[in-house]
A = this chain, B = another copy of it.
């Protein structure tokens, strides 16, 4: 379907995407959406972006904005990729539900909350809230990309890379001076006997395949995805057991997690009723039923002491790794690392001339900022910014439990290894029993602060007392996530951000506590902890 030159509104895109996906699910081959200028088959694009997720969409937008000719191609009938379709966006719905359910449970029978009844919260219903409406978000991506950003695209068709200048779609060859590869990654099940059984899910299959309400859950993993989905599942009233090889939040991919933050998170997971086994090695997924239709009944694991146990469960959630979809480009002979990711330099160049890669196809955090900015980086380099580099080794980080957990910079322990005089500001202060400290970590924890002190969050700032610069910030609470984007800028700007500068911030009270706590100490020449 040719949409070039026609205005397509949000509501119209929604219908088009709905129809496309419906046909596709029915086994038909729906028409792709072509938004190409008339000379598309004749010219050589500055770049073709293979994959229209975060990296491809932002990369093509950046290239187009700089006057380049870009073309982005995606197998799905929308731009934006897996994030709005099955990854970050549904996780955020689940996390919003988790927070609400946490209140409903904690305050059940008090105030206006009815007695807590765990049978009322349906994972399927919340999942369906997302599934029934997700194409609304998709329609905005298509609208914005076409009407506002002027991007050329082919959506709803596979791109086959022929060589480093040629991509084929529906039998037609499109030429480009450069290719930017950004088709992302998929969850990979860990190598555990029985992992293929019915009742084992990951973030993708929970959307498409779950058709029953679980009674008990085992989460395999102890990193972001594990905690985010596990916290939601527990909040619905489904008892959740974590089996994690590493300590919770101690997985290799997570940097700079402070010990006090980790302690708070683990204590809160347990307070909500979850069971945690750290150092646990899953040995087998147990099941019963006739062959090929057998359903999960438990997970056998070896604990940190070497003893074997079985956890009964009817639901296993895999919060473990993902694998880059790099093999569809084998024709190019790209250099891959030992995890199958495409090797790139700081300009997103691969080992093959004129071929770039971005997003989850490459190393580094599988995060939105990295995908988008890597796509933009490739576009800028292609458009002649020969010095432009993107370093994604240092970034603010975040995860949901029923709380928002956000951090940037160094943990206290890392800071003490690096600096001689480290000062710490935290609330509740070190040595104070959290349950005596009913100060809200920020508004959004008022009910907890006033009726359940100890559940009201923690904030922490780590300072090099010699230079007075803030070198790490950490928080668990509510409403802190957005702010860490900007705190990251401030503390990492040239010259840094000192305790004195933080003390000058005009706080919007009730706030995260950082400005005022820093101000209270900023007067000291010799800084002491607070």
Q: Which residue of B lies closest to A439 (CB)?
A: B140
* Cα A466 to Cα B370 with chains together (Å): 29
Query: Of the 9-residue stretches A193-201, A262-270, A478-486, which lies at the interface with chain B?
Result: A478-486
Shortest Cβ gap from A60 to chain B (Å): 11
* Cα A88 to Cα B61 with chains together (Å): 44
* CB of A10 within 8 Å of the partner chain: yes
**Neighbour of A367 across the interface among B120, B504, B509, CB < 8 A:** B509
**Neighbour of A149 across the interface among B444, B451, B515, B520, CB < 8 A:** B520
Q: Are B114 and A129 in contact (CB under 8 A)?
A: no
* CB of A83 within 8 Å of the partner chain: yes
Shortest Cβ gap from A88 to chain B (Å): 6
* CB of A496 within 8 Å of the partner chain: no
Q: A65-B523, A443-B96, A508-B406 are in contact. Are A490 and B481 (CB under 8 A)?
A: no
Q: Which residue of B lies closest to A63 (CB)?
A: B523
**Neighbour of A96 across the interface among B367, B372, B436, B444, CB < 8 A:** B444
**Neighbour of A453 across the interface among B96, B103, B136, B486, CB < 8 A:** B136
Q: A485-B505, A512-B482 are in contact. Are A523 and B450 (CB under 8 A)?
A: no
* Cα A489 to Cα B503 with chains together (Å): 12
User: Which of A65, A112, A144 gathers most chain B CB within 10 Å?
Assistant: A112
Q: A103-B100, A112-B121 are in contact. Are A450 and B93 (CB under 8 A)?
A: yes
Shortest Cβ gap from A470 to chain B (Å): 12
Mark out the residues of chain A between 115 and 144 whose CB falls within 8 Å of any chain B CB in the assembled complex: 120-122, 125-126, 129-130, 133-134, 136-137, 139-140, 144
**Neighbour of A369 across the interface among B369, B379, B509, CB < 8 A:** B509
Over the window 451-483 of chain A, the binary record of Cβ atoms lying under 8 Å from chain B Cβ atoms (1 yes, 0 no) is 101000000000000000000000000111111
Q: Are B443 and A508 in contact (CB under 8 A)?
A: no
Q: Are A96 and B482 in contact (CB under 8 A)?
A: no
* CB of A442 within 8 Å of the partner chain: yes
Q: Are A506 and B520 in contact (CB under 8 A)?
A: no
Shortest Cβ gap from A436 to chain B (Å): 4
* CB of A259 within 8 Å of the partner chain: no
Q: Which residues of B contact A507 (CB under 8 A)?
A: 368-369, 372, 485
Over the window 415-458 of chain A, the binary record of Cβ atoms lying under 8 Å from chain B Cβ atoms (1 yes, 0 no) is 00000000000000100110011111011101101110100000
Q: How many copies does the complex hold?
A: 2
Shortest Cβ gap from A390 to chain B (Å): 9
Q: Are B485 and A508 in contact (CB under 8 A)?
A: yes
**Neighbour of A436 across the interface among B10, B369, B406, B506, CB < 8 A:** B10
Mark out the residues of chain A between 357 and 376 whose CB falls within 8 Å of any chain B CB in the assembled complex: 367-369, 372-373, 376
Q: Which residue of B lies closest to A138 (CB)?
A: B438
7 further A-B pairs in the complex, CB-CB below 8 A; given A66-B523, A443-B481: A9-B436, A10-B432, A93-B447, A112-B122, A140-B437, A376-B523, A484-B508
Interface residues of A, Cβ cutoff 8 Å to B: 9-11, 58, 61-66, 83, 88-89, 92-93, 95-97, 100-101, 103-104, 111-112, 114, 120-122, 125-126, 129-130, 133-134, 136-137, 139-140, 144, 148-149, 367-369, 372-373, 376, 379-380, 395-398, 404, 406, 429, 432-433, 436-440, 442-444, 446-447, 449-451, 453, 478-490, 501, 503-512, 515-516, 519-524, 530
Jot down 9 A-B pairs with beta carbons below 8 A, ordered by A: A10-B433, A100-B103, A111-B122, A140-B439, A144-B429, A395-B506, A396-B506, A406-B508, A488-B505
